[in-house]
Structure 1
């Protein structure tokens, strides 16, 4: 009850015992001086600091009854201390000279010896004030740094949106340009592709804008905490600071790093042989000739036979003895193509035996052909493969299964060396299978591997060439990189 009386007899503005109390129509009391300063600082109709109810300046009524009660309690010595800032223990009427760190509250010496605080870590009130003030000042510094970091993140998200919009617009123009030559036949296809881009753009933009909104909310929350802590610290009232310390510290520590969306505008499948895919459907309108590759017999494993002018590769258990040269694969059933790739854009197609085990892709020219290594990027290989039972897989950072419903007879491989993109397609309809992204620096060679299994004892691979055209790689001059958006 003493605690409630101590609260009831204090002005909500200055938190001291009422001095010349005045009463508003809403029923709240304040010191006359505090309320006069509040009215003078109001730019519009002043409002009650407690309930925000508006009032006129001439509606401040002296509360004589409350003044008499305070005077009577002062005479009895049972009310709160009349000296501002000189609080006393409600239970023992002693000055609060200690601060209990365990319970985080000011106490008197008798409280420190009592059962509730015995063996607690109690320090002088002034020492506690300086320590807690320092902690809260540190919280302000840390939160200000967090605000700065959030603002930088906010700017970064804006830059990502700008880059996204630029990339999307560039992609739209590129696709529109390639379809110009086939406009009459491909209008419906183009609308479908643009809609997919718009949907992806909307999805990514929506998540990036959600990130910006979350960051803004975090900043508002932290600014509010900073403001509240700053008010308490600037007030200079050590007792008020210590009373609010636990709550303010908890609020300052309850702000965690934002969990932002990490959208990816995946355009890999849109950067492939688009016109060649259209040619598969409209061969009389556009013709895109795959690169004229040949298997290099000098690199072929002794159990692999190269025939048909370097276009066919077949596993043969019995083969004539071949010299073990540095160029030859001896542990992998593998072979390189004879063409080295170090710049430009290339596309080639490979027919695969039904049920055979095979691996296709590119490999660095520096790979060790004498050891049996995993065909992964860490070892200089970028490949996809097939194993008996219908499983298709790709080696990126680790081996992953891709599209369990896939069933292909011809694989299309597209390489953009400068862009660092290697994409695989089902060459029958140019549907996208898998894409690697890597900064290539070594000279690359098309890589092929084939091996037998219970379903296919003599598997083979065959490079597919068209009967017309030069068969040159898609590079140099004004040639544009083909793209596939399916």
Structure 2
């Protein structure tokens, strides 16, 4: 009821020109009231003598007067509409008090039906607020769906990034650990080389100082002799002529022939060893190469099949030693590994720390294309160890003589003397089948390269070859865990 009353009252105080609540109302003689601005605009368009825009009655414009009472009613009406529950700002027009039911797309505003007819929105594209709201709601739901999908994608990417972070962190930790281990090993190598060089210098220093001490002792002894000679000669210089002539001691003769014997002394210039950065770089590169090669370590044992009578094999088939067969002399102490290779890369190590003679490498069974003189084999047991006979081996004889048995066109192998810095206690063998190489490493000396056979050709699968020779100490095949 109150809403209807307000609506009727609002119609009475609405300007017939702008269709909005009167602003500074002016009343005509006919009783109608207009906004002051609307009267001025109407007069400019129609002239001062035109009639009332509502009823058309002509009335001189001088009869217009400000209707303050009506202005107070309009103001109170606005206050009532805003203060009542019906006229909340969110649901009703603040200007007209009517319910907001339309939407002006041109101005992007929610308006009432009076606003639509006003001068401000006349001719604009207006639509029912519910229809526009429904359209907005559909766009909102589509945007929400798209954004939720984007959010899910973002969460998935975040999870992937977290997983990548953990993966990279794990990889970096492993890489840091590998670098620490590798550089600790390099430091260990360098420290060992440093200690070995210092021990060499200390040994050289001791030898030089011993020579100088011996030379000094000889000079002290000769100095004492000279002092005694000088003392005797000074005493004799005081003798009489008869005493001098009757002296039969021979001291005069001895003093005439005595000369200083200069002792042998070492050179004052220190002979520096040719150790330079390139040597260390080569050593470290070889060590790095060996660490990679050790990743191809294969686990096998010695083959007990067709074991020679002069060999004894341990229970685990990893150790072999020779035994004498009196009165028979035997030159063949060889034994093969239990596994053969026809491709790939393979590595193994052998402990020879107690032995004074041995032969190690690989063997490939080959048909002999020429006759071998048995007397030659008996006189030179190394004649069989040639690549043309299927052997790529190195060996030790007489405790300190290391050899490589390389290719030769003659019956006797081409024996190459090897320079080994430290006695071999443990030897690593690396077979690269496709590359045609067999490499031997001195594990005792930080994995330094002993010798490498190149351009090897294998017509058949190859076997690891071991020969403890006639040295009674055992030869041991090392397991990978060692």
Query: Same-fold call, TM > 0.5?
Result: no
Q: Which has the higher helix share?
A: 2
Q: Which has the larger radius of gyration?
A: 2
The two structures have a TM-score, normalised by structure 2, of 0.36
The two structures have a TM-score, normalised by structure 1, of 0.35
